[in-house]
Chains A and B, each alone.
Chain A
Amino acid sequence: SQQGEEDPQALSIQEGENATMNCSYKTSINNLQWYRQNSGRGLVHLILIRSNEREKHSGRLRVTLDTSKKSSSLLITASRAADTASYFCAPSYNNNDMRFGAGTRLTVKP
């Protein structure tokens, strides 16, 4: 399968804590993207990290990429109730399509 596999499937934390989600993939990639989906809505792009990058930041988000392990992680610091959503990684292997895994369902309790 060319899709990423997110881990854990579900994560529940208290507001203010950090949330870490992981993504594994199979073969060499061009880039890897993370998206968020609120219930019943479309996906929203969060961050893109290219294969030659190891770490990227955007606000409270930190993404790392380890191409030797074929894995990526998304860290959300100082979580808020509004961060409650499903998070998907999407490894990009070619120019034709982007495939998503089952996601990590994050619940941030106030």
Chain B
Amino acid sequence: NAGVMQNPRHLVRRRGQEARLRCSPVKGHSHVYWYRQLPEEGLKFMVYLQKENIIDESGMPKERFSAEFPKEGPSILRIQQVVRGDSAAYFCASSPSGGMEKLFFGSGTQLSVL
């Protein structure tokens, strides 16, 4: 049984480029959450999605950031025109249902912006 798979594990981008982070939830899970973590800090909520729907994006910056969870395929967190301040670890988590039950986390994508 595969857990939450995130790729790439490490991503290096230059300022102004686009970053695409992928998350494949646990098989059968239809709820996906994205978090951002800076060194020595906690996880900051970004967005909560169900299949084909954004449920809560209150933690997402209004510009340059977008997320999707299509009917088929992984969830994608997309960051356009990256800046150095976007450098962080991005974690994805999934759950089989809403109601805030146990979350299963991926190992994260470490984004470094040069």
Contacts and interface: CB of A to CB of B under 8 A. Distances in A.
Given A3-B42, A43-B93, A103-B42, A31 B100 contact: yes
B91 interface: yes
Interface of B: 4, 33, 35, 41-45, 48, 55-56, 58-59, 89, 91, 93, 98-108
Interface of A: 3, 30-31, 33, 35, 40-45, 48, 88, 92, 94-103
B33 A97 contact: yes
Interface pairs A-B: 6 shortest CB-CB: A42-B105, A92-B100, A102-B42, A100-B43, A96-B56, A43-B105
Given A99-B45, A102-B42, A42 B106 contact: yes
A42 B4 contact: yes
